[in-house]
Amino acid sequence: MDFRTEVRAWLADRLTDTPTPHPRAWERELGRAGWIGIGWPGADGETYGNRRATLAEQVVWAEEYTRSTAPARMGHIGENLLAPTLILYGTEEQKRRHLPPVARGETLWCQGYSEPGAGSDLAGIRTTATPDGAGGYAVTGQKIWTSLARDADFCFVLARTDPGSTRHHGLSFLLLDMDQPGRIEVRPIRQLTGTSEFNEVFFDGARATETVGGEGDGWRVAMGLLALERGVSTLAQQIGFAEELARVVAAAVASGAAGDPVIRARLVRQWAELDTMRRHALRTLGTTGDPGAPSVAKLLWGGWHRRLGELAVEVAGEAGAVGPEPWTADRPYETDPAQHLFLFSRADTIYGGSDEIQRNIIAERVLGLPKEPR
């Protein structure tokens, strides 16, 4: 049995005629079956994950998972962001402590990067971490737009450990336990869609016991993590985009909007741009050392997805302005899939580094243009 057939068979067996499992239970199920952390290298020929896999097999797993009706993952931040970062920058002790529980689906992580008032300027960190006298740090400050913070067991936080530093100097990449009553408060953020995937997190002397990469080297580690964020998961993301585009095309055909030559041309353009993005992702997969590649990828998919959301409600016509259920004062409004796509994708060109930030990175680090005055 080849790898793709094995993946499809396992997903079909777990997802056919069975109730949707609880997200945490599903993570543990994935871990028991060896599907978390595939391809993670290890010391002395071992692996910190569950099974060996080539880069191509990792892509196959990500794509087939997205094509299936499998639940949305809760462990992707630990698996796709923290784990590769520890493999590159962590100590052997940190890898052995944190990676196996992630691979077993037992621990969930969140990412403490963005802060209020800093926008997409990651170097504008005001959260501080001071030595607590017991070998750790006391973290004080606020993070925002923190995905899965309500459910996470741990958080990796970028904080300022040198009180006299500015910009990207004097930052450290810290690991902390989220179960610290009275020291950590998580508040959900209600969005345009009516959902609350993101949160703001307040740290009031929260204890961080570990530093990745050493004190003051947080910027290098953080930048390495952002580059990892645009890896194999990008190809899986594009499978999801293709399914969304297919639904928009079907809606255009059903409503007759596809008969409009302007709409038809925009649909074709979305398809062509998505195909180009996939080819670009495949061409750059596994490459390192290109400072502009992550920014180019973010610019491509962020703008594409936002335009797809705009097209989805335009194809729906007048129905695109009406919710699926009546909205009353005591009942939150609901959205249909096209409306949800339109509203949520408004943020695609902002989160993860806005388009303006990505263009600055390309201009300064690739084209060698003068830096923006600050």
Q: Using 50, 70 and 90 to split pLDDT, how confident is the model at 80?
A: confident
Q: Using 50, 70 and 90 to split pLDDT, how confident is the model at 56?
A: confident
> Percentages helix, strand, coil for the chain, rounded to the nearest 5?
50, 15, 40
Task: Tell me the Ramachandran region of residue 207: left when phi exceeds 0, alpha when psi lies from -120 to 50, beta otherwise.
Answer: beta
Q: Using 50, 70 and 90 to split pLDDT, how confident is the model at 235?
A: confident
Return the DSSP state at 73: P
Question: What are the pLDDT digits (tens) for 116-171?
Answer: 877 666 777 889 999 888 888 999 999 988 888 899 999 999 999 888 777 778 89
Question: What are the pLDDT digits (tens) for 285-296?
Answer: 766 667 777 788
Question: What are the pLDDT digits (tens) for 197-209?
Answer: 788 999 999 999 9
**Given 27, 57, 229, 314, the catalytic residue:** 229
Q: Using 50, 70 and 90 to split pLDDT, how confident is the model at 273?
A: very high
Q: What is the pLDDT of residue 374?
A: 65
The Cβ of residue 97 has, within 10 Å, a number of other Cβ atoms equal to 14
Phi, psi of 156 (to 5 degrees): -100, 130
Q: What is the pLDDT of residue 245?
A: 94
Inter-CA distances, 46 with 49, 52, 80, Å = 9, 9, 19
**Catalytic residue list contains 229:** yes
Question: What are the pLDDT digits (tens) for 169-203?
Answer: 889 999 999 999 999 999 988 877 777 778 899 99
